[in-house]
Structure 1
Amino acid sequence: MPQDELPRPVHRVRGVDHAAFPTFDPGATVRFYRDVLKFPVVHSICAAGWGPERHPDFIHFFFDIGNDDRLAFFYYFGWTPAGDQSAPGDAWARLPHDTPDFFKNSRHIALNVADEEDLMEYRRRLDESDWPVEMQVMHETIESIYTHDPNGYMLEITRQLRPVTPQEDLDAQLTIDALCDVTAGDAPSMDALLTRKAELIVERAEAWAATQPGWHPSQRELV
């Protein structure tokens, strides 16, 4: 039987696409994973005005940890859990009982499947079970279905819509550098991040232009 006619296996997951967590300190998170462990930033999502009521603007950013796996974090502007979050390894345990669902669900695992057929097969299985799909979302580069497992953990199953481009990787690096800058200040916000990101684009474009043959400072306004 030709390879493309073989029946698909019952188990169709190809591994972990990403594991995701909230971050209370994006600057330290970036320093730890990018600068110390050397995991490059490969993708980011700037989400403004997204989601239901009580859902703040947020940044969702991803580190490449090898083998097409990613480690992801959420940073929510203007939302900090009550209590002292300074002690390492302790912040999650001290979340108040009225912590919004969006923050609880930010800690989840995403499993990867090959294509739409596999994704819809898992949707069928879940919808016929005690744990039906709660939402199906078309993101920028992936399509995902979501449910909660019997323990209350959010589970995402996802397929890639298209590869992430080098330009998007560069945009992610600019976004995360801007995020680190604005969260080091007193009033981080999505507007402040986008303003700082624009400044970084201009600064880095000028620095790049200055390395090009024939460039002269009088050309700065054209960059």
Structure 2
Amino acid sequence: MTQPDTDAPIDLEAVEAERARIREAHLRPAGERPASSARGLHHTALISSDVERTVRFYQDLLEFPLTELIDNRDYPGSSHFFFDIGHGNLLAFFDFPGLDVGPYAEVLGGLHHCAISVDPAHWDRLVGKLEAAGVEHVVHSGVSVYFRDPDGARIELIADPLGEMYGERVL
């Protein structure tokens, strides 16, 4: 990720002070947190400009099986399709034929990246497949690989278990 294009330097001490204030006001120790009202992430829906290309990328390259391909009830001629990303969670897509949605853009309220946990052995194999397929990617901390899908969405495969981030519990 690049830094914002601005002439004003970011006051990192002020940023960290604000994080500390928010943590103090809102972050409860693990044993004091109430149970979540959610059961899990049913699906996250992204946009695809080409259904078959997206299927080849996610199913053939990343090994996330396609589980369903149906009509999108909200937009005639559009498809809604789903990939299994483990533990009952799905990564979904819509295509919008005839609607110029433009190129992918990171905007406020939009997607920054989607992080998907994979077993370390799968992670190593998938990084090798990204390399072999010529997909630009960046490895961080030996457990995260970032890359963009065919439509530009940023994806992270992380070898840390669910509920952990770089060896630290976040759940």
**Band of TM-score, shorter chain:** 0.3 to 0.5
Larger radius of gyration: 1
Query: Greater RCO between the two (CA within 8 Å, min separation 6)?
Result: 1
Higher helix share: 1
Give the TM-score normalised by structure 2.
Answer: 0.39
Give the TM-score normalised by structure 1.
Answer: 0.30
